[in-house]
Structure 1
Amino acid sequence: MSPEQLAALHGRCFVTPRPWTAAEFAGLLSAPGCVLLTAPMGFLLGRVAGGEGELLTLAVAPEARRSGQGRALVERFLAHCAAEGAEAAFLEVASDNKAALGLYHRTGWDSVGRRPAYYAPGIDAVVMRHGLAQPA
């Protein structure tokens, strides 16, 4: 997916936090350790560095939600992080995004902190961690 395609889909999925621009996606994609995973109607952007993975954003088209694409992307990201030698992965998610919180809990993430009013007044960021299993 091109930065423009990523930005268009991101814009369909997010209001708060605000959708990212094509220029922001281009910058992230050019950074070392960047990981872009795609699905037919979604994508996950993350990075791996310094023994840690960071899930930056996950977007699945509204009409494709609850189809397993988000879960598959998260599981692929976790496997990639472990294969790269990361010991843990982190993410931040809006406290009012119940669907995402449920997905992350179901895929083994634990809430480890909060950033008050990180996204907007009254919308905290929930910091989550996944302890990765190293491949055999």
Structure 2
Amino acid sequence: MRFWNKLEKSFLRSRSGKQHAKTDIRERFDAVDEEKLSHDGEAMLSFYRQQGIRGHIRSFQIILDGAPVSKIEMEKQCNILCEPGFHKIHIKLDTMKSQILNLKAEAGVRYFFEIACTMEEGLILKQVEMERIEEE
């Protein structure tokens, strides 16, 4: 087990310079039509999947309120629109799943999440930032 932990850490370390060169999380995400988001009265969930050893050739499922809504590949991102209100979000790969995040989504707000999979912790989903879309 120690071998895999060391291998994973060196793999992530060697790749992380390229991957995390941008310190602001929003720089890692594609721009969206913020005007449309604020006028439609929806919230946007933006996911970025980090590089890792486990499950690297497989797509992870994004589960919103118990239903699969999208799949995401390594070093890719996706955006999901949802209605304002309370939501439960988690990531799944076969029988493995991340912890469930509870989110109170507000209209016109973009929420940023990072996804990873490690040998020690398995699937990881964490909210990293939110950004309110301001109307002009």
Task: State the TM-score, normalized to the length of structure 1.
Answer: 0.25
**Structure (1/2) with the larger strand percentage:** 2
**Structure (1/2) with the larger helix percentage:** 1
